[in-house]
Amino acid sequence: MRILIAEDNPTTMRLLESLLAKMGHIVSTVNDGLAAWHMLEHQSSDTPRIAILDWMMPRMQGPDLCRRARATPFPIQPYIILVTSRDSREDLIAGLKSGADDYLAKPFDHAELQARVQNGVRIMELQEALLEKAKQLDEFQAQVELLQSMLPLCPQCKKIKDDKSYWLSVDTYMIKHGSKNWTQGRCGTCAAKTAPEA
């Protein structure tokens, strides 16, 4: 999973980067909030899906970045973990209200970080799977609508087969249903006329 670390403390950044790389993630790092926003706002296959943000950063603080991300209609919202030494109940509530998905207090426990990141990975994989299913449903719906718009038209007598398997004249069908795209089929009468004699 691609993960963004936004942290202005070089020691904390190196520690986070090392731990996440050992977990097998692809890690990008920046040292201020605005740079983090630029990485998240340009959605592509390389955009990080998880962002680990320091609360206090130059140019844009973590909660402000959370609010901006949540106000942007991304196809897939990033999973955001706020990391901070501010660990009061009020800070936790403020961080989550800003749009963070999770909250990690400094100094953080390595096992806790790993568990929280794994939870983020699981949620992002579910989001991506749901998005893929939605695309497949849209494609299926378009195919159904196309098939429903195609009607069997007998090339000889020009009758149309309706959804109840009745062959109607074009005029009758048009009055009942309106214009549609045409396909060709042979009604029973015309098929019998052109069948080879035994």
- What's the pLDDT tens digit per position in 82-96? 999 987 889 989 999
Distance CA 176, CA 90 (A): 66
Q: What is the mean pLDDT of residues 85-108?
A: 92
pLDDT at 16: 96
The answer to whether residue 68 is domain-embedded is: yes
The answer to whether residue 148 is domain-embedded is: no
User: In terms of domains, do 54 and 120 share one?
Assistant: yes
User: In terms of domains, do 48 and 116 share one?
Assistant: yes
Q: Hey, what long-range contacts does 145-150 have (CB within 8 A, 24 or more apart)?
A: 149/180, 149/181, 150/180, 150/181, 150/182, 150/183
User: In terms of domains, do 114 and 185 share one?
Assistant: no
- What's the pLDDT tens digit per position in 7-21? 999 999 999 999 999
User: In terms of domains, do 116 and 181 share one?
Assistant: no
User: What type of residue is 197?
Assistant: E
- What's the pLDDT tens digit per position in 17-71? 999 999 999 999 999 999 999 999 988 889 999 999 999 999 999 999 999 999 9
- Domains in the chain, number: 2
The answer to whether residue 111 is domain-embedded is: yes
Report field, pTM of the whole predicted structure over 0.85? no
Domain that holds residue 108: 2-141
- What's the pLDDT tens digit per position in 112-162? 999 999 999 999 999 999 989 999 998 888 887 776 667 787 888 878 887
Contact 62, 91 (CB under 8 A): no
User: In terms of domains, do 58 and 124 share one?
Assistant: yes
User: In terms of domains, do 177 and 133 share one?
Assistant: no
- Dihedral sign for Cα 55, 61, 66, 67, please: positive
- DSSP single-letter state for residue 4: E
User: In terms of domains, do 112 and 176 share one?
Assistant: no
